[in-house]
């Protein structure tokens, strides 16, 4: 009977395989460290060495439409009788263009969300600021806003963040949740008159919806 000799393939050298795994692991670690360092540098630059915000400018057509809205808001006699024509949609783009006209476009940018208004603000922190006094910084305020059936405007600070990090309430004088305009409304006849002309107000993603009283 013929004997069959089994041939066994030589085992691959483990040292070469281990070295390859180590090199790959080191490459991944170094790559992650590089990404983290780059991200951190961008965060610091964005937060503490911010470039001016790009001001918004409207086209001639957009500006004419926005001017008409401002005219209606400033002239109650121009308010139409039917509700459809008494409804104004003011976009965040129009608001930011208005801020640019007031020479604020490079330091303030407003965004409308569902039920809230946020504002990015670039400024030099005062000496009594809880963090980084006298440092030029970029912060973001987020306000919850509404108009009650009694035509009282509510504007409450929901959050104040620095570089995307929410600051503790105790650091900012415990003003989160405080209505920041209630006292001003009560003592400002012009603001009371303006609010009296608004039937309802809704903040939605990207726009402010106002329905004016007759």
List of long-range contacts for 57-61, beta carbons under 8 Å, 24+ apart: 57/97, 57/100, 58/93, 58/94, 58/97
- C-alpha 92 chain-centroid distance: 11
- Return the DSSP state at 169: G
Q: Is the pLDDT of residue 111 over 90?
A: yes
| Sequence ranges of the domains in the chain | 15-49, 60-212
Q: Residue 194, Cβ neighbours under 10 Å: how many?
A: 16
Average pLDDT over residues 120-149: 82
Q: What percent of the chain has a predicted confidence (pLDDT) above 90? A: 24
pLDDT for residue 107: 92
Instruction: Cite the DSSP H helix spans in the chain.
Output: 14-48, 60-74, 92-101, 182-187, 189-196
Residue 176 contacts residue 169 (beta carbons within 8 Å): yes
> Which tens digits make up the pLDDT trace of 172-202?
788 888 887 776 666 777 777 777 778 888 9
Q: Is the pLDDT of residue 69 over 90?
A: no
> Which tens digits make up the pLDDT trace of 75-91?
766 666 666 778 889 99
What CA–CA distance (Å, rounded) separates 195 from 201? Answer: 10
pLDDT for residue 55: 94
Q: What is the pTM of this model?
A: 0.72
pLDDT for residue 106: 93
pLDDT for residue 24: 56
> Which tens digits make up the pLDDT trace of 13-43?
555 566 555 555 555 555 555 555 555 566 5
Average pLDDT over residues 136-154: 81
pLDDT for residue 1: 47
């Amino acid at each position: 009977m013929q004997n069959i000799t089994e041939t066994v393939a030589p085992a691959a050298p483990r040292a070469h395989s281990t070295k390859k795994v180590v090199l790959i692991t080191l490459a991944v670690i170094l790559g992650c460290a590089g990404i983290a360092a780059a991200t951190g540098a961008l965060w610091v630059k964005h937060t503490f060495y911010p470039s001016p915000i790009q001001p918004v400018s409207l086209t001639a057509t957009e500006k004419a439409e926005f001017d008409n809205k401002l005219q209606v808001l400033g002239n109650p006699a121009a308010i139409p009788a039917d509700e459809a024509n008494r409804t104004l949609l003011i976009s965040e783009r129009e608001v930011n263009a208005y801020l640019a006209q007031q020479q604020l476009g490079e330091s303030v940018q407003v965004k409308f969300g569902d039920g809230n208004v946020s504002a990015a603000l670039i400024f030099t922190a005062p000496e009594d600021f809880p963090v980084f006094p006298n440092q030029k910084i970029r912060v973001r305020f987020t306000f919850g806003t509404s108009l009650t059936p009694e035509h009282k405007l509510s504007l409450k600070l929901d959050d104040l963040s620095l570089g995307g990090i929410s600051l503790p309430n105790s650091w900012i004088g415990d003003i989160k949740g405080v209505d920041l305009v209630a006292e001003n409304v009560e003592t400002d006849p012009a603001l009371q008159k303006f609010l009296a002309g608004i039937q309802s107000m809704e903040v939605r993603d990207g726009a402010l919806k106002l329905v004016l009283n007759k």
